[in-house]
Structure 1
Amino acid sequence: MNPQHLLSRRQWLRRVAGFGAALGGGAGASLLLPASSVQAADYRALVCVFQYGGNDGLNTIVPTDDARYAAYAAVRGELALPRERLIAVPGTDFGLHPALSSLATMFAERRAAPVWNVGPMRRRLDLAGLRAAILAGDASAVPDNLFSHSDQQVLWETAGASTLDRTGWGGRASQALATTWPVMAIGDAGLRFGLSSQSGAVVLPGPGTDLVPAGFSTADLATAAGAARRDALAAMYAAPGDSALADAFVAGQQQAFDMASGLASLVKVQPGQASALAAVDAAFAPLVANGGIQTSMGQQFYQVAKMVAASAGLGVRRQIFFTSQHGYDTHRGQIARGDVLAGDHARLLTEFGDAVAALHRAMAAIGLDGAVTTFTHSDFGRTFRPNRSLGTDHAWGNTQLVFGSSVLGGRGWGLHPQLQLAGPDDIDALATEPAGRWLPTTAVEEYVATLLRWCGADSSQLAQALPNLSAVSGSSPLGFLPA
């Protein structure tokens, strides 16, 4: 690791010194500075929510005008959401899944927007061009292993042209923007997303959990033997190295030890345990029961909120976070018969919506609602035609959602696909029984580039973070965030 874009060990220790005392003693204002501070004036944070399994974007936000809703309902059958149950999205002819009622205010205030038909691309092709390339045996026309969960997750996390890419777009962007901190991944995913040539993601556990370096446990460190092992490793890392590779490894290990030491107190805090976080706690109060936040998404976003609240005190100007939610591979049981608010999809969307709403209430409470943008990723969309098990199967292009007070809402961005089996957007047009799999009209790289421009990335930084951008960019850049 060449940690020039990261804090030096001495700077890091100086800035995190006293975290435990500040939070435990209720004097967190020394670190949780007001958003009007000089350090926070130019602050920006991106919060990725990866919906693993392939979210059904066609039932997340649904057209409500007569013609398109009729086309939707005719094909979706039992999976079709009743139009009268949808939550209207002002400024558009679309409605949200009723399980996303907690996000209604953000859409009504135009602080949220859909981005239509996004997916991985090798190069830009229309349906005729794709068909010609396939008939000619040109394997480079489509992404690697198109309908494979693991391969498409790689392409989304790397924003790359190949599943062999090792670094993630979050890590490369962190490096290009010189964010000071590497990507922070909350939970059990995001390592690839946060990997750059200089650093890996910092993985944080949920609230109430001890943060310790890999290879240790809290119990280990409480023993004389564990403490001695930790001290021996620290001494070894402090010794001069004899190669660039050894120095890179040592720098990474030192940073891990220092972050674990400096952030442990903040990471462990749960709602109600630190007076300096009262405004954040109030925003998350609807998610709290029995002394803690009850959902995985809520816990992850609470960790994000705490890190953002501490950013000014730590002198951090740019942060990238990775959160995740599993279970969207809804081949069966996507809805419960007769109840659109029951079934796996509604359950997942409710948890997602409640957490997003809580995070942005917290950001508004601390004056950073315009400085934090949350956005979705997902493996791929789902087929327009349902299967026989009240579910949907793997597709390609999909709707993504962005949230935050800087988002230019009140409309959708990109091109919504025509809801027509074997139509101009359906790559199954030549199939005997087309299922409705949309050819993307917005590339992952275009979507991500809009997020990074908002963070201040210039053309050279975009090229470093998104090396395949020029191959897939359309003629009109997306504008869901101001550059």
Structure 2
Amino acid sequence: MKYKSRRQFIKEFGLGALGITTASSITQLKAFNAAYLNNTANTFNNDYKAIVCFFLNGGNDSFNMVVPRGNPEYDEYAVTRSDLAISQNELLPITPVTSDGKQYGLNPAMTHLHQLFNNGKVSFINNVGPLIEPTTKITYQNNSSPIPLGLFSHSDQLKNCQTGLPHVRTHFGWGGKMADMLNDMNMNQNVSMNISLSGTNIFQYGQTLVEFAIDPYDGSPGIDGYDPLASGFNGQRTEGIDLLLGVDHPDMYKKTYTDILKRSLDGSIEFRAAMDQIGTLNTFFSDNRISQSFKRITEVIMARDILGFKRQIFFVQMGGWDMHGELIDSHERNLTVVDNAMNEFVNGLEEIGMFDAVTTFTISDFGRTLTSNGNGSDHAWGGNAFVMGGDIKGGDMYGAYPSLALGGNYEIHNGVLIPTTSNDQYFAELALWFGVSPGDLSTLFPNIGNFYDTGSGMAPLGFMNL
């Protein structure tokens, strides 16, 4: 049986001829959604998945996030970190499912993530970062291994972690390219499957799809004063905007801009109408932009069937991680915000029964130097990340956790660590879970073959249930 696309259904329902920027559009759209859901009730199955990219912008000092707790490893950590070291007795102990024979603990600010780890809802990816090929201290020092472009640079490493391409400079993100591959699974071609709570970003920028940016507090506000149901001044303004959008411009650039604006308005109206129809989310979320971003994501997921989505990619950015000074206190404050937001997000997803369908993962520009600059740390390379979700193999650590001693096997200078796990492995496993075929991984990550046999049938790292 061939199913109608959402666009076809809109047209047949009578909204296609005028678009949905008319005064009666919201009323029509609500009726349309009811009919649409009835039409697809037996055909739109429950194979919904979402990934949430949580970008810690600035370079997370992640070796103060996951810390060796036993001896002699803690002593090495304390000597190397000096004034940046967390007291051994303050660390929150964790026992990974797969032991490397060493003991670890979490930053004391991560009380909720500690519990989530113990409950199998969070895992950590150790010393991960951009690599072109497996690199050792020797191959780095003798220049026999190529290294990522712009190593230690914010602008370059921000791109590296969002494009998955450390060897070239490009503006296409691996989330955007993945959306290009999988968008046909969705029935909505008016609202992008890429939803950003942090505006324009590289991660979600694809060849055909880009982000649909919404605000954590206001949702999709559209054009100021544009309201198809308004009367008076705003009604006149809306009518004027519609007239301007109806002009057939002979100039290609004006026409392109007008078409983009039309689609944006259509998408905004459809999105707002869908959000008006969801139920009440009872979970408490803190009143800050990060927690509210994750609340908004939860609400958008509640509207997945109304909007016709089987796959969605979300992006949240949190700034303030470039801690060249006052690291201990600033890092604790940031981790507290992250910790609360993640716990609230889990509670929200569990309330709506969607925790198993959503995987959240962190990225950052780079790790930071293990050595202190006097009151903070500087730009480095490898760092730790976490993944969270109901379909991960939780309560564990993946990838080798390196020695933190100066002069160690992966330490090259000033406490800079060569990654022992590549971003390619980390990102490829998320892509496989999301629905990308093994054969398409090399399109997203051209260097993946240097770290993982895509034909092996095995997982790149093993942290997802594939």
Distance 1:39 1:467 in 2: 33
Residue 124 of structure 1 corresponds to: 134
Could you tell me which of 444, 447, 450 is aligned with 2:423? 444
Residue 298 of structure 1 corresponds to: 291
> What secondary structure, in the 3-state scheme, does the structure 2 residue paired with 1:48 have?
strand
Distance 1:305 1:184 in 2: 12
CA 175–81 in structure 1, closer or farther in 2 if over 3 Å, else same? same
Distance 1:266 1:457 in 2: 28
> What secondary structure, in the 3-state scheme, does the structure 2 residue paired with 1:66 have?
coil
- The answer to whether 1:230 aligns with 2:241 is yes
Residue 108 of structure 1 corresponds to: 118
Distance 1:297 1:115 in 2: 22
Distance 2:90 2:25 in 1: 47
C-alpha deviation, 1:78, in angstroms: 2.4
Q: State the one-letter code of the partner of 1:441.
A: T
Distance 2:128 2:290 in 1: 23
C-alpha deviation, 1:142, in angstroms: 1.3
Q: Kindly indicate whether the alpha-carbon contact (under 8 Å) linking 2:433 and 2:464 is maintained by their aligned counterparts in 1.
A: yes
CA 247–99 in structure 1, closer or farther in 2 if over 3 Å, else same? same
Distance 1:172 1:277 in 2: 32
Q: Kindly indicate whether the alpha-carbon contact (under 8 Å) linking 2:9 and 2:36 is maintained by their aligned counterparts in 1.
A: no
Residue-pair matches, total: 433
Q: State the one-letter code of the partner of 2:464.
A: L
- The answer to whether 1:394 aligns with 2:394 is no
Residue 182 of structure 1 corresponds to: 193
Q: Kindly indicate whether the alpha-carbon contact (under 8 Å) linking 2:6 and 2:308 is maintained by their aligned counterparts in 1.
A: no
Residue 189 of structure 2 corresponds to: none
Residue 481 of structure 1 corresponds to: 464
Q: Kindly indicate whether the alpha-carbon contact (under 8 Å) linking 2:274 and 2:306 is maintained by their aligned counterparts in 1.
A: no
Could you tell me which of 71, 82, 88 is aligned with 2:87? 82
CA 182–29 in structure 1, closer or farther in 2 if over 3 Å, else same? closer
Residue 61 of structure 2 corresponds to: 56
C-alpha deviation, 1:296, in angstroms: 1.2
Distance 1:96 1:313 in 2: 40
- The answer to whether 1:218 aligns with 2:225 is yes
- The answer to whether 1:256 aligns with 2:249 is no
What are the superposed Cα offsets for residues 62-119 of structure 1, whole Å, 9 maximum, x if unpaired? Answer: 1112221111112222221122222222336221111111222211111110001111
CA 309–411 in structure 1, closer or farther in 2 if over 3 Å, else same? same
> What secondary structure, in the 3-state scheme, does the structure 2 residue paired with 1:141 have?
coil
Q: State the one-letter code of the partner of 1:387.
A: N
After superposition, the CA RMSD in angstroms is 3.5
Residue 334 of structure 1 corresponds to: 327
Distance 1:414 1:361 in 2: 28
Q: Kindly indicate whether the alpha-carbon contact (under 8 Å) linking 2:285 and 2:341 is maintained by their aligned counterparts in 1.
A: no
Residue 321 of structure 1 corresponds to: 314
What are the superposed Cα offsets for residues 224-274 of structure 1, whole Å, 9 maximum, x if unpaired? Answer: 5532343135424xx69998x99976764443222111113566x7xxxx8
> What secondary structure, in the 3-state scheme, does the structure 1 residue paired with 2:109 have?
helix
Q: Kindly indicate whether the alpha-carbon contact (under 8 Å) linking 1:52 and 1:378 is maintained by their aligned counterparts in 2.
A: yes
Q: Kindly indicate whether the alpha-carbon contact (under 8 Å) linking 1:61 and 1:94 is maintained by their aligned counterparts in 2.
A: yes
Q: Kindly indicate whether the alpha-carbon contact (under 8 Å) linking 1:40 and 1:312 is maintained by their aligned counterparts in 2.
A: no
TM-score w.r.t. structure 2 length?
A: 0.83
Distance 1:366 1:95 in 2: 31
The worse-fitting range, judged by mean Cα deviation, of 10-19 and 447-456 is 10-19
Q: Kindly indicate whether the alpha-carbon contact (under 8 Å) linking 2:226 and 2:238 is maintained by their aligned counterparts in 1.
A: no
Residue 161 of structure 1 corresponds to: 166
Distance 1:84 1:362 in 2: 32
Distance 2:227 2:347 in 1: 38
What are the superposed Cα offsets for residues 169-222 of structure 1, whole Å, 9 maximum, x if unpaired? Answer: 11000011225333111024x42211111121111112235520xxx3237986
CA 38–471 in structure 1, closer or farther in 2 if over 3 Å, else same? same
Distance 1:306 1:209 in 2: 10
Identical residues among aligned pairs (%) = 28
Distance 1:31 1:67 in 2: 63
Q: State the one-letter code of the partner of 2:336.
A: T
- The answer to whether 1:152 aligns with 2:157 is yes
CA 23–7 in structure 1, closer or farther in 2 if over 3 Å, else same? closer
C-alpha deviation, 1:450, in angstroms: 0.5
- The answer to whether 1:470 aligns with 2:463 is no
CA 422–198 in structure 1, closer or farther in 2 if over 3 Å, else same? same
> What secondary structure, in the 3-state scheme, does the structure 1 residue paired with 2:343 have?
helix
Gaps of 5+ in 2: 187-191
Q: Kindly indicate whether the alpha-carbon contact (under 8 Å) linking 1:37 and 1:312 is maintained by their aligned counterparts in 2.
A: no
Q: How does 1:385-424 map to 2 (within 5 A)?
A: 385-389=371-375, 391-424=376-409
Distance 2:337 2:29 in 1: 28
What are the superposed Cα offsets for residues 310-367 of structure 1, whole Å, 9 maximum, x if unpaired? Answer: 11232211110000100000110112xxxxxxx1111111111111111111111111
Distance 1:249 1:125 in 2: 46
CA 187–477 in structure 1, closer or farther in 2 if over 3 Å, else same? closer
Distance 2:35 2:126 in 1: 43
Residue 364 of structure 2 corresponds to: 378
